[in-house]
Amino acid sequence: MEDKKINIMAVLSITALIMFIIIARVSLKLSRAFFLIAGAGVAIILAVFACLLIRRRYNDRRKLLETKMVTEGRELRIEYSFLRKVAGVPTKFRPGELEEATNNFGVLLGKGSSASVFKGIISDGTCVAVKRIEGEERREEFRSEVAAIASAQHVNLVRLLGYCCVPGGPRYLVYDFIPNGSLDCWIFPAGGRGSSNCNRPSGCLSWDLRYKVAIDVAKALSYLHHDCRSRILHLDVKPENILIDEKYRAIVADFGLSKLMGKDESRVVTTIRGTKGYLAPEWLLENGISEKSDIYSYGMVLLEIIGGQRNICLIENGRDRSKSKWQYFPKIVNEKMREGRVMEVVDHRLIESGGVDEKELKRVVYVALWCIQERARLRPSMPSVVEMLEGRVTVDEPPDTQMSIVDFLSVDEGPRAIGRNRPNIITLATQVDSRNYPPSSTCSYPISIVSPR
Ligand SMILES: Nc1ncnc2c1ncn2[C@@H]1O[C@H](COP(=O)(O)OP(=O)(O)OP(=O)(O)O)[C@@H](O)[C@H]1O
Ligand SMILES: [Mg+2]
């Protein structure tokens, strides 16, 4: 625009000067004054031409430099984002960038109790999963998630690439996209009670892959509990929060409920958080929780991996709802294991396709039953679980457990649960207390973040 104005002004002034010289020629004839005016006019015209030429050259060079800088800047940005990624430093995104990356949040990958996750591609071509956390009350979850995952780097943990905060609006977390979705779609039969979220990649994982997934998750938790600068408790270990990558490796995700714990602390006191069916009894009984609560949830997930079914389900009895019964899978596994009929608890689809190694199965069942011991101190640590699953140490037969409190912690509240003679929270707490649990078990927990399944 500026250039155009200057060019017009130059043309106008040159035209005016020429006109002036012509008028001078007519009125002054070939006098000395005319030659003086004509000389000055021509000099000015030449000067204007010279200025235009210099300006044009200067502009060309500037444009060249600008394009060079833009290209270099883009390359630098890509390189910078690559270096940040390698160093594990999350990038701050602008809301517009995320809208563009996700095509205006067009492809939903999954929805949990606190967030929706969308597929996207960011400017350097990386495929990402953008988690949108709505609501001011979820601010704490956003913080926990960033605090926990930003400092953790492990092949079996999802990688945080960036974040974005809109004042008063939603918060976003940008993760590596994990193409095969979550574990629930790979262990629970499609359309069954367990498969809530399965319009995504799904199938029936073979026994070998299930065993590998079990080890991967154990390694991730072992890293969080023992190898990070501060101990990280995940506190929401369940199949929906375990993702499966293109090589069928398990990737632990969703750190929204996680808690950082000093290495010298043995317990932390916090509000009940997690998902029914995976909550350890100490949430109700003891004064604080520890990494052993994650180990309990992990044991529950192991059982679901083995059985291909949710640990707790309601067995309907025809039309008569009053005759429906809650079936608690861990109890069945415990009984079958003691009767030496452990093969009967495996996902029947795996039995049909063959390939279940009975020795491995027995090992996983033992490990799972050790992990879900009601007394937290009896549960093995995550590094020992890895060793046991990898067959480097032998696993002893786990002690028999009553599993009375777990019933309560597992069952979904709701109209279907009413009138099923389920014990209430206080009764259970006293029952278990009387079996020598520490007297610290008060029931004044502010129940805050417990998701139904
Ligand atoms: N990185 C990812 N790649 C692919 N899919 C993902 C990714 N992260 C999450 N998902 C999908 O989105 C779903 C919900 O994500 P996430 O568990 O993080 O949300 P949430 O609201 O915190 O869940 P919760 O109900 O456990 O609190 C997951 O179960 C999974 O199917
Ligand atoms: Mg989740």
Amino acid at 80: Y
Distance from C-alpha of 291 to C-alpha of 376, rounded to nearest angstrom = 9
Say whether 131 counts as a known binding-site residue.
yes
Q: What is the DSSP string of 111-129?
A: E-SSEEEEEEE-TTS-EEE
Nearest CA to ligand 1 atom 20: 112
Beta bridge partners of 164: 172
3 is annotated as an active-site residue? no
The amino acid at 334: N
Q: Is the CB of 450 under 6 A from ligand 1?
A: no
Identify the pLDDT of residue 365.
Answer: 97
How far is residue 360's CA from residue 55's CA, in Å, rounded to a whole number? 80
Q: Which token pair is 309?
A: 């079914």
Specify the residue for token string 């608890």: 345
Question: Ligand 1: does its nearest atom lie under 6 Å from the Cβ of 202?
Answer: no
Three-class DSSP category at 298: helix
Residue nearest to atom 24 of ligand 1 (CA): 112
Enclosing H/E stretch for 131: strand 127-133
* pLDDT, position 316: 78
Residue among 236, 254, 294, 347 flagged as catalytic: 236
Structural domains of the chain sorted by starting position, each given as residue range(s) with its CATH number in brackets = 2-87 (no CATH), 91-176 (3.30.200.20), 184-434 (1.10.510.10)
Distances (CA, A) of 165 to 48, 136, 433: 54, 11, 45
Q: What is the pLDDT along the chain (453 residues), one digit of tens a residue?
A: 677 888 888 888 888 888 888 888 888 888 888 888 888 888 988 998 898 899 888 988 988 888 888 888 778 777 766 776 666 678 889 999 999 999 999 999 998 888 999 999 998 899 999 999 987 777 778 888 888 888 788 999 999 999 998 888 899 999 999 999 999 999 999 866 555 554 688 999 999 999 999 999 999 999 999 999 889 999 999 999 999 999 999 999 999 888 888 877 878 887 888 888 899 988 877 678 899 999 999 999 999 999 999 998 888 777 777 777 888 999 999 999 999 999 999 999 998 888 899 999 999 999 999 999 999 999 999 999 999 999 999 999 999 877 765 555 565 544 444 334 443 433 343 343 333 333 332 222 334 456 665
Q: How far is the CA of 437 from the centre of ligand 1 (A)?
A: 36
Residues with CB under 5 A from ligand 2 (ion): 112, 241, 254
